[in-house]
Amino acid sequence: MHSDIERILIPRNALARRVAELADELARDLDALDPDAEIVLIPVLTGSIIFVADLIRHLPHKLRIEVVTASSYPGRATTSQGAALAGPLPEDLTGRHVLLIDDILDSGSTLTLLREELHRRGPQWLRTCVLLRKQTERARSVPCEYVGFEIADEFVVGYGLDYDNYYRNLPEIAVLRKDAM
């Protein structure tokens, strides 16, 4: 697997440090809002699993997790094919504190669609958190309150992100060799 990697973009210690910082930021905001607020985290499968697993272990709050499934890069696609929901959304969000979490913000079609759908369910507080955001006009135009890293507009894998469902288990964020795609 490692022979498919061209270079490491974000090493594991930098990921760990930044995820802890993001959790602190989030914890501060939640405490300022209401220290007893119960939070619903909504991770987008499958790419956000590692990020969410690391993030929640820094959050001392009472929280619940409701996963959603969406896909805009099916299979071997390396450009967005348009977002689609592939399952139900949580229903009981009225008056709740909701944090939508994804691995990466690229075209933004996934998060735009999900945020609209969640907003319609009447949460009291709704924010979005991503580990990575591509440095494009399009990505920056999508509302997102918590961003781990800004990265160049290139296709990355690892730490949950895939190519054709592989490489999610890489502990770093990496760029694949062209001949591996």
Stretch that binds ligand IMP, among 3-11, 32-40, 49-57, 150-158 (CB under 6 A): 150-158
103 binds ligand IMP, rule: CB under 6 A:
yes
Q: Which of 30, 51, 72, 131 binds ligand IMP (CB under 6 A)?
A: 72
Question: Among 24, 106, 162, 164, which one carries the catalytic annotation?
Answer: 106
Q: Which ranges of the chain does DSSP label H, i.e. alpha helix?
A: 12-33, 49-56, 109-119, 137-140
172 binds ligand IMP, rule: CB under 6 A:
no
CA gap 57, 69 in Å, rounded: 22
Residue of minimal CB distance from ligand IMP? 107
106 as an active site residue: the answer is: yes
Is residue 11 within 8 A of residue 170, CB to CB? The reply is: no
CA gap 39, 147 in Å, rounded: 19
156 binds ligand IMP, rule: CB under 6 A:
yes
CA gap 106, 42 in Å, rounded: 18
Q: Which of 121, 155, 168, 180 binds ligand IMP (CB under 6 A)?
A: 155
Is residue 2 within 8 A of residue 28, CB to CB? The reply is: no
Residues that bind ligand IMP (CB under 6 A): 44, 47, 72-73, 80, 83, 102-110, 155-157, 161-162
Residues identified as active-site: 106
